[in-house]
Amino acid sequence: MPAEWEPQAAVWLSWPHNRATWPKRFRPIPRAFAKFVAAISRFEEVRINCARDLQERARKLCVEADADIQRVTFYDHPTNDAWCRDHGPIFVKNKNSGEVAITDWTFNAWGGKYPRYDLDNKIPSRIARALELRCFVNEMVLEGGSIDVNGRGLLLTSEQCLLNRNRNPHLTRDEIERNLKDFFSVRTVLWLGEGIAGDDTDGHVDDIARFFKADGFITCVEANRRDSNHKILAANLERLKSFRTSNRGRFEIVPLPMPAPVSFRGQRVPASYANFLIINGAVLVPNFRQPRRDAEAGVVLRDCFPGREIVPIDCYDLIWGLGTLHCLSQQQPA
């Protein structure tokens, strides 16, 4: 599995249509999503899973958002929801031949939390057929947002998610590690603890900490000791400090501030700047209409990704669905 900063052929998305995902706030979502499509299309191709009857409206919104429509392709792949990071394929690449293939894991809607995920679970195999790529099937439940790799043999994940009994109760920790090593060609699995408040995915790592280079992590920190995320993120930081690179060296660790808590109708949502998306030539960064903190996060990421444009994306409405840019997307390596 290549690192996210390696060259990409396209980014895959699934068009939003499930109103229950954004209860009483769905109206702005398609336009916000179209702006996300437009931002990606400035840099590379966008491929969108979208039922045929939704495509005309979706295309119109993308055009209105100034997307490079020549770089946007719709596929008649119906979905239950929009979270392509988790139900979409996880791509792998043969380092010798350059062949790109798909890994197809079981998707069970984050431990069976939401009804109907049959269409989502078919997306990897549909994309494999559409692109005529080899597809490697693994029956283990796994979501793309629960893992991150450095492309050099290391994989980062969390105990709260992958060891959760609502995912793979029949598998031991060692068996889960073996599946990850076999299918992603990693040598070492690095385990963080818990995820942030409001996260219905049981601690996906893409809201906590991410590789930004082979020997470096960006990790969320919460300065407010009274915030429920303070202890969680501090504990994860201590684990990151204890990890060692493939050469037994220490990782460079860059702290990333959290946004101020975001809530809708009394419910806290998992707003996190770690949910950024790396694409060819750019990093797309979720913003939450908090000018000072949004800017601080942008500066941190600019310093971590020299040579890439930092593109802020307004995610204030999107986060009510309990995810933002990384959760909505899945990169296809070149």
Q: Average the pLDDT over 164-183 and give the result.
A: 98
The label of the residue with tokens 């055009």 reads 63
Is the residue at 97 inside a domain? Answer: yes
Cα angle: 119, vertex 120, 124; to 5 degrees: 110
Q: 327 catalytic, yes or no?
A: yes
Does 127 have pLDDT greater than 90?
A: yes
Residue 98 in any domain: the answer is: yes
**In this structure, is residue 3 part of a structural domain?**
no
Q: Is residue 165 part of a domain?
A: yes
- Domain assignment of residue 227, given as a range: 8-333
- The domain total for the chain is 1
Per the structure block, which two tokens stand in for 192?
A: 């963080």
Instruction: List, in sequence order, the alpha helices (H) in 24-133.
Output: 29-41, 52-64, 84-87, 109-112, 118-121, 123-131
Mean pLDDT for 105-112 is 98
| The one catalytic residue among 84, 161, 220, 327 | 327
User: What confidence tens digit (pLDDT) does each residue in 309-323 have?
Assistant: 999 999 999 999 999
What are the pLDDT digits (tens) for 8-62? 999 999 999 999 999 999 999 999 999 999 999 999 999 999 999 999 999 999 9
Helical packing angle, 29-41 and 52-64, nearest 10°: 70
Which residues are CB-contacts of 334 (< 8 A; sequence separation ≥ 6)?
Answer: 6, 7, 8, 9, 100
- Residue 193 in any domain: the answer is yes
Is 1 a domain residue?
A: no
**CATH classification at residue 277:** 3.75.10.10
With bands split at pLDDT 50, 70 and 90, how would you rate the model's confidence at 246?
Answer: confident
